Amino acid sequence: MKVFAIGRATKPITDEDRKRYMSEEVPHTLQLYLDGKIEQFFFTQDKPGVVFLMDAVSVEEAKATVGAMPLAAAGILDFEFLPVGPLKPLGLLLQGR
């Protein structure tokens, strides 16, 4: 299953937060990418945040994976999870073939 994990800061991230957490957050994110748990990652353009396209067995697994990341574990980022799948209505175009 694919899950979008959409993260937003719960409070402004201070320089102290950056120094404290980013040295762990970046390698953690890259390891999840290399492990195939995060397929793509983006920075939101409207306001500070991140979007991960994840490969997970369930939304609960995606929540646990993201929840273990340093910024989420510290309560600095809060995530919304959106499960997505194939665009099934496209199958209507194949009826009668």
Q: pLDDT digit string (tens) for 69-80?
A: 999 999 999 999
Q: How many C-beta neighbours within 10 Å does residue 22 have?
A: 13
Q: Predicted confidence band at 36 (pLDDT cuts at 50, 70, 90)?
A: very high
Rounded to whole angstroms, the Cα distance separating 31 from 61 reads 16
Measuring CA to CA, which residue among 61, 78, 70 is closest to residue 2?
Answer: 61
Is the CA virtual torsion 26, 29, 33, 38 positive or negative?
Answer: negative
Predicted confidence at residue 89, as pLDDT, reads 85
Q: How far is CA 7 from the centre of its chain?
A: 7
**Domains held by the chain: number:** 1
Domain span at 58: 2-94
* CATH number of the domain residue 25 falls in: 3.30.70.1060
